[in-house]
Chains A and B, each alone.
Chain A
Amino acid sequence: MSDRIFGIFGICLAVFYAWATLQIEESFLSDAVGPKTFPLIVAAILGLSSLIIALKPDADPVWPPLGRLVEIGAAAVVMVLYAELLPEIGFILATAAAASYLTWRLGTRPLSSLITGALISLGIYTVFHLILGLSLARGPLGF
């Protein structure tokens, strides 16, 4: 069933891809092939293989229960927040927060996860910034 849904999604993706390709405005200076041919071939094979996936599905994978899916979604949200906040609040704070969250959700107890997160953040800062001289995001506090 999963494969059937995925195959249909793939066909939609291929159609969308082909449509988007046709929207490309061609320049008046073009080679014999042009910028559209290759993406159209890609879209065609993409659609064809999706069709086969939908028609001949494999056995379903073991999907995690809803709670686990929420877990993965939440982690993704934390990572997005991390990406957005990194330049605002600086590397050490952002990283400590994100690392604490991840280690907590992976099974560390709440209090020790705060410590673990802080240590990970400081450790990376020491190795990559202080020793290797990599420039990391600088927050209002200067680190």
Chain B
Amino acid sequence: MDTLASLSDGFLIALTWQNLLLALLGCFLGTVMGALPGLGPSNGVAILIPLAFTLGLGATPSLILLTSVYYGAMYGGRISSILLNIPGDEPAMMTCLDGYPMAQKGQAGEALSLSGIASFVGAFLATWGLVLLAPQLVKIALLFGPAEYFALFTLAFATLGGVSSTNQAKSAFAAMLGLGLAVIGVDTQTGVPRLTFGEVHLYDGLDFLVAIVGLFALSEVFIFLENRHGAADADSKKIKIGRLTPPWSMIKSCTPTMLRTSFLGFIAGVLPGAGASLGSFISYSMEKRLVDKKGTFGKGDPRGVAAPEAGNNAAAGGALVPMLALGVPGSGTTAVLLAVLMSLNITPGPLLFANNPDVVWGLIAALFIANFMLLALNIPMVGLFTRVLLVPPRILMPIVAMVSFVGIYGISGSSFDLLVMVAFGLAGWLLRKLDIPLVPIILGTLLGNTMENNLRRAVTISNGDYGTLIDSPLSITLWTIALVGFILPIFVGKIIKRRMRAEPTSD
């Protein structure tokens, strides 16, 4: 009951004209960014963060704007999967399998609207899951002391590569790079400058927003410059959209699929190291095994469109649970959202629910509202979004670059930050070529200081005894999960990755 009361308070906060407008804007921009190949949810949110700040929005409105972008991008990813057979973002990969064949059969409109409904079901159920699960997780998190937090952060880094990670050394390298960058600046406990090499600009530490925008958005521009003659100029083939409403019988036959995959996707989102891509993958393979009796999956079966879409949108909602309740994000985009919270001087984690209930519940209410808006935007107006796909990258990418510069310059007004951002952009390009994941770097720069402070606090409390780190059953459990989570992918990661890759080609 308590939860419902808080939720209705949240609706009171979210239902102001300003917040509704921001949610609508976020949903629209998010869908556009999700639909454009090359701009995923993390890039989309990363580009818009600086803007939310420079506009001087408060905590709740900025979060509403940016999470609407996040949900919107998850919806939008399907559009180019279905119409062009190019996934708009990674989680939408599985939607290509049945979505594109449906479009080729002249059922593009039905595939788009059905996947819109599936996205809605997945996201809607996952938001309820968030409402119910997050407060329970908070109760556990309140038992955490500094030592447990240090273990929890280690767990987050150890599992971030995900079960599909193929090279754990590279994940570890990325995480350490991020933590190493976080150390730069004046030490908060003793006041000595660390690794600044006398550069005054670095005394405050590197701004993680600069790192995020550089690594995600600018590196994308460099990738496009590299592949100018490649697939980047894929002109959209003319595909007839057809009728925009799926017949009732189709929705009915897909309902059990949507419900099952929403549940599965949500679980995948909550668990550390799984995330939306894996959510849609598991959903698709499970449904294929369960209901594909006639072998129609992969040839334009509507259930094959509904399953991955419900799965990935549910996972997107699920990923918000650990981010809000523990302050430890489980995916790239939630890591970027965490950056938003931290820049707004809000410490995520259990205390967030106690100290800033307005932020949490306003945000959750806004997610419900955004969901309905997205359904409304995505069914009748999907034609508008398909137009967006016609904007060629040669015009889009300069806009992305310039908006990134404007955003970062708007925050600090310093050329130094822009130079650092260009350096991060180049580094991001190089690291992507070498298959080194970028998300652990971001998470490292974000959490580095908190992680170190918890370590130092724990050891100081116990008078310099490092044994305190593995003193309680809770922290031992966390360390064990971290260890297993880090070692497991070394053995099973290659198999899962191969299956994920093999699925599209074998069908």
Contacts and interface: CB of A to CB of B under 8 A. Distances in A.
Contacts of B398: 98-99, 102-103, 106, 116-117, 120
A132 B218 CA distance: 23
Given A33-B456, A86-B418, A106-B398, A75 B409 contact: no
B409 A137 contact: yes
A107 B393 CA distance: 9
A140 interface: no
B463 interface: yes
Given A58-B167, A72-B225, A79-B425, A3 B434 contact: yes
B503 interface: no
Q: Which DSSP category, helix, strand, loop or mixed, fits chain B's interface?
A: helix
Contacts of A27: 190-192
Contacts of B177: 46
A82 B418 contact: yes
Contact of A102 (B169, B401, B422, B426): B401
Given A39-B183, A86-B415, A34 B401 contact: no
A62 B425 CA distance: 19
Contacts of B197: 20
B231 to A, nearest CB: 13
B309 to A, nearest CB: 31
Contacts of A103: 394-395, 397-398
Contacts of B394: 103, 106-108
Contacts of A2: 433-434
Contact of B192 (A10, A35, A37): A35
A98 B79 CA distance: 31
Nearest to A54: B169
A106 B394 CA distance: 5
A143 interface: no
Contacts of A10: 173
A87 to B, nearest CB: 6
A103 to B, nearest CB: 5
Contacts of B406: 95, 124, 128, 134, 136
Contact of B194 (A21, A79, A99): A21
B395 A42 contact: no
A79 B222 CA distance: 11
Contacts of A25: 192
Contacts of B452: 38
A130 interface: no
B136 interface: no
Q: Which DSSP category, helix, strand, loop or mixed, fits chain A's interface?
A: helix
A35 to B, nearest CB: 4
Contacts of A45: 172, 176
Interface string A120-143: 110010001000111111000000
B183 A42 contact: yes
B203 interface: no
Contacts of A56: 169
Given A46-B176, A53-B170, A134-B406, A80 B456 contact: no
B224 interface: yes
A135 B422 contact: no
B403 interface: yes
B357 interface: no
A75 B222 contact: yes
A52 B169 contact: yes
A52 B405 CA distance: 37
Given A39-B195, A61-B433, A86-B418, A46 B402 contact: no
Nearest to A68: B226
Nearest to B229: A107
Interface string B249-282: 0000000000000000000000000000000000
B226 A72 contact: yes
Contact of B419 (A49, A83, A105, A132): A83
A34 B179 CA distance: 17
Contacts of B169: 49, 52-53, 56
Interface string A70-95: 01100110011011101100000001
A11 to B, nearest CB: 11
B405 A106 contact: no
B75 interface: no
Contact of B456 (A17, A31, A87): A31
Interface string B401-418: 111011001100101001
6 contacts: A17-B180, A45-B176, A49-B172, A53-B167, A102-B225, A102-B397
Interface of A: 2-3, 6, 10, 17, 20-21, 24-27, 29-35, 37-39, 42-43, 45-46, 48-50, 52-53, 56, 58, 61, 63-64, 68, 71-72, 75-76, 79-80, 82-84, 86-87, 95, 98-99, 102-103, 105-108, 116-117, 120-121, 124, 128, 132-137
Given A33-B464, A35-B189, A83-B415, 11 more contacts: A27-B192, A29-B190, A53-B170, A53-B173, A79-B405, A99-B398, A99-B399, A106-B228, A116-B398, A120-B395, A128-B406
